[in-house]
Homo-oligomer: A and B are copies of this chain.
Amino acid sequence: MTQHIFDPITDEEIRITTKLLKDLNGDAKLHFANIDRLDPPKDKAVEYLNIERYGGGKLPYIPRRTYAYYYLNEKIPLFKAIVNVSENHVICNVETPEGTVGPLIPDDMNKAEEASLRHPAVLAEIAKLKLDQVHYNHANLGKLEYKVVSEPWMYGTDCEDNKVPLVQCYMYLKLDHPDANHYSIPLRFSPVFEYLTQKFIRMDYLPSGADELYIKETLPFKAIPTVEYHPDVIEDFQEREGLKPLIIQQPEGASFNVDGTRITWQGWDFRVATNSREGFALYDVHFKGRSLMYRFACNEMTVPYLEPRAPFHRKQAFDLGDCGFGNTANSLALGCHCLGVIKYLDTRRADVEGNPVLIPSTICMHEQDYGLLFLHQNYRTGKTVATRRREFVLQTIATVANYEYIINIIFDQAGAITVQVRATGILSTMPNDEGCVTDWATPVGPGVTAAFHQHLISFRADMRLDGDKNTVVYDDYVPMEENTALNPYNVAASQKRTYVEKSGSIDQSPFTNRTYKVINENSINPVTMKPVGYKFEMPAKQMILASKDSYNVKRAHFATKQIWVTKYAEDRMYAAGEFTNQSTIDTGLKVWADGSENVRNTDIVVWPTLALTHPPVTEQFPVMTSDFLQFLITPASFFDRNPALDVPLANNNFNKSVYYEDANKSDTKPSSECCKM
């Protein structure tokens, strides 16, 4: 199969990149922080896509490009290179600006974790715990020791002089069982190390009371019970009974078709390509032959903690910019992460040496039924038209230390996309003095509390609605002037449209039902006689809570607003900027959405921010039932009528459901009864 311009990076392309950069740097030792494919130039790509879809000539040749971040000899500065891997030459190779710190990658984090556990300063603290003098009598497992665990975190920022890449190791105890939950016993010391060299910097001591005053010495540990999530470690575990199999059977196979990176399903036609930073991106998204988006991806997430006490004030992850949703992607397993007929795609990343690493099955694709798509019963005839809502789901799951993020892109049969994030996994916990109750954290077990925090997730929608020139508007619904000839009964309301003329953001306004739309002013809907559009349906949410003068906000300006509009430019990919780890400022939307550029009827990018203020509850420990965040991208007078009228009507010859009363009989055959139609 010929390689497509949007296909993800190959092992060979990683190897070429590494070799060219090693050659360029002579004897120096290269320490890679990332190697991945760079998107093709958009103008060329659009030319390519137009010819691919509509014909009209030979596909243009577009050389494949990669980018790489690396250090020399385990020292800053961080270098960035762009490589032409089709023609084997380095396009550019530059030192990043002073103070730039590269993303954290799993290899280095594991090294930091190991180093922290054997450093004398840490061993000295561990000795003070006198762990040899305590143990836990587990109801099922008998006498268990407590073991120390280290969890390195991005260091964060609280001043301008974070010049050296650092990690902060949060330390825990766990029962000596491979599946024990260490988040249940956070320790009170927390060493800081240099990230590249594992050099010990200092020991921080963690607060555990309701104020900034706390004990700064490590005391002997007193055995306490842990709150466990694994069935093998939960005491007196009794598995819940009564759940019977529910098998998604697709005897004729899946309704979707996968051809390399191209996916087609029920009128949808797009490409999906995995990458190390975003997990994956969609490209060239069409529905029923009409273009919707050039590119769509989750591009950043920041998780600021709302804890005042040092060093927790620095807890602010940028899960994509600091770690990467591809780098941290789970390998998904059949019948566990999704059901039915499943197609998987892999991710390739580079290790610190620049060697390719395969992470298999990071994306799964499947179909699901989610109730009724549309239904109407004519009460005069009793006749019903009913269609089932079949969904096509693209899923990836990233584990960023404690937390899991499940990204589901859900396509329906009527031209709508639901972008759904499920937050699950384990709360990042802090030590808590007995009886300590604050109003900024929730105790979740003995000696352990979970701080309030937020998740602010940026998506980047490079729009191409019926063509390259689009406009963002927002519509408010406001009462009509009262006591006029037209509105004498004072019941009416009308739509007030505002055009976004300059790059920037839109304020939330749920009480005027403010609706964000992308329209194409050059494409008029023949029925409404107005421009065609798609809307971004987003729930009103609290945005980032920290003070605007705090580093948390300076670094994540994007998190202050729900939706942004910028003009397209090739290097505007990530909401908080290209380099977020230990950053002091947002070099992304802060810069690009400054009001200086015209964004009406031009090539624009829309940046929705999903937000969740998360004050934990006890039900979210020791593992958290998925919390849902989502928004919709849905047609708003884009088509001239319901584009799903051609979906086959529901009937039980196809769906083969059975009556409850019959279900336990061995000779049950599905009824052939169907809707009265």
A446-496 interface with B by 8 A CB criterion: 452, 475, 477-480, 482, 485-496
Type the 1/0 row for A220-245, where 1 means its CB is closer than 8 Å to any CB of B: 00000001011100100111101111
Instruction: Find chain B residues with CB under 8 A from A406 CB.
Output: 371-372, 375
Asked if A49 lies at the interface with its beta carbon under 8 angstroms from chain B, I say: no
Residues of B within 8 A of A676 (CB): 333
A542 on interface, CB distance cutoff 8 Å: yes
Q: Is A547 an interface residue (CB 8 A)?
A: yes
Task: Take A335-B674, A657-B335 as given contacts and tell me if A615 and B477 are in contact as well, using a CB distance cutoff of 8 Å.
Answer: yes
Report whether B642 and A623 are in contact in the complex, using a CB–CB cutoff of 8 Å: yes
Stretch among A58-66, A253-261, A564-572 lining the B interface: A253-261
* Closest-CB distance, A646 to chain B (whole angstroms): 4
B211, B383, B482, B636: the one contacting A547 at CB < 8 Å is B482
Stretch of A3-11, A82-90, A510-518 with 4 or more beta carbons under 8 angstroms from chain B = A510-518
With the chains together, A116 CA to B336 CA distance in Å? 59
User: Residue of B at shortest CB range from A538?
Assistant: B539
CA gap between A561 and B579 in the complex, in Å: 45
Chain B residues with Cβ under 8 A from A178's Cβ?
Answer: 381, 383
Q: Is the interface of A mostly helix, strand, loop or mixed?
A: loop
Do A242 and B255 touch across chains, with their CB atoms under 8 A apart? yes
A356 within 8 A of B: no
- Contact residues in B for A243 (Cβ distance below 8 Å): 255, 266, 390, 647-648
What's the nearest-Cβ distance from chain B to residue A520, in Å? 15
Closest Cβ–Cβ distance, residue A639 to chain B (whole Å)? 5
User: Once the chains bind, are A245 and B238 in contact (CB under 8 Å)?
Assistant: no
Whether A545 touches B341, Cβ cut-off 8 Å, given contacts A404-B375, A424-B374, A624-B374, is no
CA distance A385 to B623 in the complex (A): 9
A557 to B638, CA, bound (A): 36
Bound CA span A344–B374, Å = 21
Q: Is A644 an interface residue (CB 8 A)?
A: yes
Q: Which residue of B397, B638, B646 is within 8 Å of A238 (Cβ)?
A: B646
If A334-B673, A375-B425, A652-B335 touch, does A240 touch B266 (CB 8 Å cutoff)? yes
Q: Would you give the shortest CB distance from A463 to chain B, in whole angstroms? A: 18
- Residues of B with C-beta under 8 A to A445: 527, 641
Given A371-B422, A655-B339, residue A619 in contact with residue B641 (CB < 8 A): yes
Interface-located stretch among A193-201, A289-297, A663-671: A663-671
Asked if A511 contacts B542 (CB within 8 A), the reply is yes
Q: From A652, which residue of chain B is reached at the shortest CB distance? A: B335
Cβ-neighbour of A496 out of B439, B486, B511 (below 8 A) = B439
Instruction: Give the residues in chain B near A404, CB-CB below 8 Å.
Output: 375-377
A145: Cβ under 8 A from any B Cβ: no
Q: Given contacts A333-B652, A425-B375, are A528 and B266 in contact (CB under 8 A)?
A: no
Contact assessment for B641 and A674 in the assembled complex, using a CB-CB cutoff below 8 Å: no
The size class of the interface chain A forms with chain B is 35 or more
Whether B230 lies near A385 (C-beta < 8 A) is yes
Query: What would be 5 A-B contacts, judged by CB atoms less than 8 Å apart?
Result: A247-B249, A336-B388, A343-B659, A343-B661, A371-B395
Q: Does A248 contact B (CB under 8 A)?
A: yes
Listed residue (A266, A381, A487) with the most chain B CB atoms within 10 angstroms of its CB: A487
Are the CB atoms of A645 and B371 closer together than 8 Å? no
Q: Is A43 an interface residue (CB 8 A)?
A: no
CB-CB nearest in chain B for A525: B618
Residue in B229, B525, B654 whose beta carbon sits within 8 Å of that of A645 in the complex: B229
* Contacts A229-B376, A625-B412 given; does A660 touch B254 at CB 8 Å: yes
Closest Cβ–Cβ distance, residue A556 to chain B (whole Å):
11
Q: A648 to B645, alpha carbons, bound, how many Å?
A: 40
B477-A613 in contact (CB<8A):
yes
A652 and B234 contacting across the interface, CB-CB below 8 Å: no
Residue of B nearest to A634 (CB): B619
CB distance from A362 to the nearest CB of B (A): 12
Binary contact track A495-537/B, C-beta < 8 Å → 1, others 0: 1110000000000101111010000000001011110000000
Instruction: Give Cα A646–Cα B336 distance, bound, in whole angstroms.
Output: 16
- Indicate whether A640 reaches chain B with its CB closer than 8 angstroms: yes
Which residues of A in the span 581-602 have a Cβ within 8 Å of any Cβ on B?
Answer: none
- CA of A178 to CA of B383 in the docked complex: distance in angstroms? 9
Query: Known contacts being A252-B244, A443-B527, is A643 close to B657, with CB within 8 Å?
Result: no
Q: Are B266 and A547 in contact (CB under 8 A)?
A: no
- The answer to whether A336 touches B384 (Cβ under 8 A) is yes
Select from chain B the residue with minimum beta-carbon distance to A657: B335
- Contacts known (A619-B415, A652-B333); A372 close to B527, Cβ less than 8 A: no
Is B619 a contact of A656 with CB atoms below 8 Å?
no
Return the contact of A485 from the options B212, B338, B401, B551 (Cβ within 8 A): B212
A138 at the interface (CB under 8 A from B): no
Given contacts A313-B492, A645-B234, contact A426 B376 (CB under 8 A): yes
B655 & A335 in contact (Cβ 8 Å cutoff):
yes
Residue of B nearest to A613 (CB): B513
Are B374's CB and A656's CB within 8 A? no
Give bound CA distance, A442 to B493, whole Å: 13
Contact A440 B480 (CB under 8 A): yes
Which residue of chain B has the shortest Cβ distance to A251 in the bound complex? B245
The answer to whether A376 and B425 have CB atoms under 8 Å apart is: yes
- Is A550 in the interface zone, CB < 8 Å from B? yes
A342 interface hit (Cβ, 8 Å): yes
Q: Of B336, B486, B493, B671, which one neighbours A545 at CB under 8 angstroms?
A: B493
- Which among A258, A440, A647, A676 has the highest number of chain B CB atoms within 10 Å? A440
Write out the residue numbers on chain B whose beta carbons fall within 8 Å of the beta carbon of A491: 304-308, 313, 316, 546-547, 550-552
For A655, what are the chain B residues with a Cβ–Cβ distance below 8 Å?
245-248, 335-336, 339
Expressed in whole angstroms, the Cα–Cα distance for A226 and B508 within the complex equals 39
Is B372's CB under 8 angstroms from A440's CB? no
Given A336-B386, A342-B658, 12 extra CB contacts under 8 A? A243-B255, A306-B480, A308-B491, A334-B652, A337-B386, A343-B659, A376-B404, A445-B527, A490-B547, A491-B550, A617-B635, A619-B642
